[in-house]
Structure 1
């Protein structure tokens, strides 16, 4: 305490005159040096603290930027993946459409006599392989209204009726006749003329009346929403509608067998153009439908 009072006296001009001047000078110099040292230490400390704070802020900013970059990258990757999936889906749809168009073209491609004989021979062999002696039906192809050339339609009908998965499994084979010398007619008709065959026919669907199997031209070219939305396509629809309507001529009735359960194949004679009832689309007779009158 005495030392402190002594220093304070040396610093006070009024009391310092009574003290040794050399001693006062030394004390004042030491005090000044101490003050300067404290200021220097304080400035250095502040500088160090500032550097630390700047470094922390820079690190936080870097982390934030990295996090933002990661989030942006994830979003970009997510967008790329989504875009990629959409692109793949579009490509798959395009491939499916191309495949359906190719099948439609194959169905209606022109037929030579040799090709017709080859198709018929396979149908007859299919009948025998399933335990049946072939029963041959002759059909005529006709039109009602403006439906364009019948050549493509006739070619498709011949292929479909003699398909190895169709009615040939029940023993029925088919040849195209002419000049009305036929067991039945397959008529491609404008929708507006459907009811001229019978009031029971509809302009919305195909129909069978007596010896006429009438295919609605709108359905032949456009199918139905029920069929297409259930996973069917136009090439398969044409097979189904020909096999179904000719099935009536062979003795079958609508909905004689109904859907056996969700996801199972619909019976051919179910009215699939109108309803699937949870069943999957099907263009060929099921094993339980393999009979003809």
Structure 2
């Protein structure tokens, strides 16, 4: 019995010794982990400060970037994929983005209240023009496979009632369903000659009370307009104002380009030539007249 008791005591002593060694190893591992985390945080702070100081104090930005990469890999257990660096947009890309935003804004849906606000602002401009204020009513139509009519209608409304346009001549515009002064139609190219033998499948046209906008030009403008810095939204505005200008009493090329670098007259056939002028979608001051007699605004 004495020998058995001694063996049991020896085993208990050994287990206590092993347990203490296990606890000691766990403590050492925990302390090491804490020290590692503290070191990583301190290094990260130093790296941030180093990057901040780099432009003025000669910091090594490359070293900071390498450390950042290593830090990401440490936290992701070495499974981090290097992300492609963001490239700054070029001037050309920024111009394309701005042109697209302008195009979307021109055709964007609008509520009845927004439409009323556009009309009221145009009327205010017309009243301040010193000319007799008149209202031209217009219908919107399509002819052929031309897509969304509502986007076209929104673009026409915004173009015609923009305070930079014909409201400066005392005219405001209101879309109605019937009984209109003019009908503004978006037509497929092959439909253009059906309005008149003078209408070409290449350009827009006006025949009597019909203002016909060529879908080919609506979608792509003309090369020289875009090459001279014009946008598709600007071209759409120009062609609507130009063709409606005929219904107000104006004729093509009634006023010539004033010289290289000057704005082209609105009624110049800018779809065909610029003659050294810059693109322009609004009537010049010298074009602010009309023979149209409409209803009171």
Aligned to 2:278: 280
In the TM superposition, what is the alpha-carbon distance from 1:130 to its structure 2 partner?
Answer: 1.4
Contact 1:226/1:272 (CA < 8 Å) preserved in 2?
no
Aligned to 1:101: 100
* Matching of residue 207 in structure 1 with residue 194 in structure 2: no
1:54-203 correspondence runs (5 A)? 91-178=90-177, 180-203=178-201
Aligned to 2:50: none
CA distance in structure 1 between the partners assigned to 2:122 and 2:215 by the alignment: 27
In the TM superposition, what is the alpha-carbon distance from 1:196 to its structure 2 partner?
Answer: 0.3
Structure 1 unaligned residues grouped into runs of 5+: 1-86
Aligned to 1:228: 226
CA distance in structure 1 between the partners assigned to 2:227 and 2:148 by the alignment: 29
Contact 1:208/1:214 (CA < 8 Å) preserved in 2?
yes
Aligned to 1:82: none
In the TM superposition, what is the alpha-carbon distance from 1:148 to its structure 2 partner?
Answer: 1.1
In the TM superposition, what is the alpha-carbon distance from 1:120 to its structure 2 partner?
Answer: 0.5
SS of the residue corresponding to residue 237 of structure 1 reads helix
CA distance in structure 2 between the partners assigned to 1:270 and 1:227 by the alignment: 13
CA distance in structure 2 between the partners assigned to 1:175 and 1:129 by the alignment: 19
Query: TM-score, normalised to structure 1's length?
Result: 0.68
In the TM superposition, what is the alpha-carbon distance from 1:149 to its structure 2 partner?
Answer: 1.7
Runs of 4 or more consecutive aligned structure 1 residues displaced over 4 Å after TM superposition: none
CA distance in structure 1 between the partners assigned to 2:206 and 2:228 by the alignment: 25
SS of the residue corresponding to residue 213 of structure 1 reads strand
Q: Once the two structures are superposed, what CA deviation does each residue of 1:242-276 show, in whole Å capped at 9, x if it has no partner?
A: 00000001000000001010000000000000000
Contact 1:195/1:201 (CA < 8 Å) preserved in 2?
yes
CA distance in structure 1 between the partners assigned to 2:229 and 2:105 by the alignment: 21
CA distance in structure 1 between the partners assigned to 2:223 and 2:184 by the alignment: 24
In the TM superposition, what is the alpha-carbon distance from 1:103 to its structure 2 partner?
Answer: 0.7
CA distance in structure 2 between the partners assigned to 1:192 and 1:104 by the alignment: 25
In the TM superposition, what is the alpha-carbon distance from 1:112 to its structure 2 partner?
Answer: 0.9
Aligned to 1:239: 237
Number of residue pairs matched? 205
Which is higher, the Rg of structure 1 or of structure 2? Answer: 1
In the TM superposition, what is the alpha-carbon distance from 1:175 to its structure 2 partner?
Answer: 0.6
Query: TM-score, normalised to structure 2's length?
Result: 0.68
Q: Once the two structures are superposed, what CA deviation does each residue of 1:61-119 show, in whole Å capped at 9, x if it has no partner?
A: xxxxxxxxxxxxxxxxxxxxxxxxxx98x711111110010011111111111111111
**Structure showing the higher helix proportion among its residues:** 1
Aligned to 1:40: none
In the TM superposition, what is the alpha-carbon distance from 1:132 to its structure 2 partner?
Answer: 2.4
Contact 1:143/1:188 (CA < 8 Å) preserved in 2?
yes
CA distance in structure 1 between the partners assigned to 2:100 and 2:290 by the alignment: 32
Structure 2 unaligned residues grouped into runs of 5+: 1-86, 292-297
Q: Once the two structures are superposed, what CA deviation does each residue of 1:152-171 show, in whole Å capped at 9, x if it has no partner?
A: 00001001100010000001
